[in-house]
């Protein structure tokens, strides 16, 4: 890339990132924290052999409870070239990954496009999955047409007040709705009959203690916007991390009653998808592994 002014997400920093300017997310050129075969994703994503996850540093959001904050907020990671990124995709494919899972790569879209094209030219044939917060401009998403096969899209908060409280970004709901609709336009619904997703949109939602009204509103919006053909993943693995440990309202684990109320709502709306372990008072790692209970 010769020049690039970053307006990938609604913060529209216009930062000249190739020449050292940093925007809100503090991302310059690509950095990754790690890559691995990940077997803890939703069953259609993990498939039989696991998902080839690449964890990118930084984030366009700064959620107060971020479960991944050392990487997203403190920028833990190492700089990586497009050539090495492409090579890592091929390594993960060789290790048996069912897809390449780009975790929080929103702030690196131009580099991702180059890396995927290069890897495909060298034999990459598994689906590309874009694991996103959904705080992206639709123009940035349009660039992923033909590059990304599966969108694993968070829908975090429905009301501006909740978004302002939980991530200091009152505009999140407005942009997330537009972004999720664009993702659906690009790839459609995921094929729920297949044991491993090859194309389509999955909407993820993490239930937050004290905010289950947001979960209800999000599920209602998904139903109203897409019907029940869009697959949803209702996550119950919340634990207080990062700044949440000092905020009484969100400084506790989600309790089973709260989580199950949201699950029941999803069932009533006749969604298909996944929930995590119903006994969400047990430790979070166990919750995470216990994916797969169908709605």
What is the binding site for ligand SF4 (CB under 6 A)? 6-9, 11-13, 15, 23-25, 27, 60, 107
Q: What span, in angstroms and rounded, lies between the C-alpha atoms of 230 and 271?
A: 7
Cα-based angle 222, 228, 232 (whole degrees, multiple of 5): 65
Question: In the bound complex, what is the minimum distance in angstroms from residue 69's beta carbon to ligand SF4?
Answer: 16
Residue with the shortest CB distance to ligand SF4: 23
Pick 61 or 202: Cβ nearer ligand SF4? 61
Residue with tokens 């790569």: 105
Question: In the bound complex, what is the minimum distance in angstroms from residue 29's beta carbon to ligand SF4?
Answer: 12
Question: In the bound complex, what is the minimum distance in angstroms from residue 108's beta carbon to ligand SF4?
Answer: 8
Pick 11 or 38: Cβ nearer ligand SF4? 11
Q: What span, in angstroms and rounded, lies between the C-alpha atoms of 70 and 15?
A: 23
Pick 14 or 81: Cβ nearer ligand SF4? 14
Q: What span, in angstroms and rounded, lies between the C-alpha atoms of 140 and 136?
A: 7
Question: In the bound complex, what is the minimum distance in angstroms from residue 75's beta carbon to ligand SF4?
Answer: 12
Q: Which two tokens stand for residue 165?
A: 């409280």
Question: In the bound complex, what is the minimum distance in angstroms from residue 31's beta carbon to ligand SF4?
Answer: 13
Question: In the bound complex, what is the minimum distance in angstroms from residue 155's beta carbon to ligand SF4?
Answer: 19
Pick 8 or 219: Cβ nearer ligand SF4? 8
Question: In the bound complex, what is the minimum distance in angstroms from residue 10's beta carbon to ligand SF4?
Answer: 7
Question: In the bound complex, what is the minimum distance in angstroms from residue 58's beta carbon to ligand SF4?
Answer: 7
Pick 6 or 152: Cβ nearer ligand SF4? 6
Pick 76 or 196: Cβ nearer ligand SF4? 76
Pick 73 or 290: Cβ nearer ligand SF4? 73
Pick 25 or 97: Cβ nearer ligand SF4? 25
Burial of 43 (0-12, 13-18, 19+ CB in 10 A): middle
Residue with tokens 């997703």: 197
């Amino acid at each position: 890339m010769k020049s690039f002014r970053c307006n990938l997400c609604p913060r529209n920093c216009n930062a000249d990132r190739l020449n050292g300017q940093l925007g809100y997310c503090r991302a310059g050129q690509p950095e990754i924290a790690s890559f691995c075969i990940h077997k803890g994703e939703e069953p259609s994503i993990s498939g039989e052999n696991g998902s080839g996850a690449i964890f990118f540093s930084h984030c366009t959001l700064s959620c107060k409870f971020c479960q991944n904050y050392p990487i997203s907020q403190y920028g833990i990671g190492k700089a990586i070239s497009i050539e090495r990124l492409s090579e890592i995709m091929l390594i993960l494919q060789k290790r048996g990954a069912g897809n390449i899972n780009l975790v929080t790569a929103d702030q690196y879209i131009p580099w991702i496009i180059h890396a995927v094209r290069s890897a495909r030219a060298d034999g990459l044939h598994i689906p590309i999955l874009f694991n996103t917060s959904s705080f992206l401009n639709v123009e940035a998403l349009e660039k992923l047409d033909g590059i990304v096969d599966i969108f694993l899209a968070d829908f975090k908060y429905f009301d501006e007040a909740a978004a302002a409280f939980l991530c200091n970004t009152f505009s999140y709901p407005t942009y997330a709705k537009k972004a999720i609709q664009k993702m659906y336009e690009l790839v459609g619904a995921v094929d729920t009959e297949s044991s491993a997703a090859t194309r389509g949109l999955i909407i993820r939602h993490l239930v937050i203690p004290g905010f289950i009204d947001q979960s209800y509103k999000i599920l209602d919006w998904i139903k109203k916007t897409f019907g029940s053909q869009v697959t949803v993943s209702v996550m119950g693995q919340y634990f207080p991390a990062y700044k949440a440990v000092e905020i009484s309202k969100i400084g506790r684990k989600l309790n089973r009653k709260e989580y199950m109320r949201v699950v029941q709502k999803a069932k009533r709306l006749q969604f298909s998808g996944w929930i995590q372990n119903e006994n969400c008072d047990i430790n979070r790692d166990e919750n995470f592994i216990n994916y797969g209970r169908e709605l």
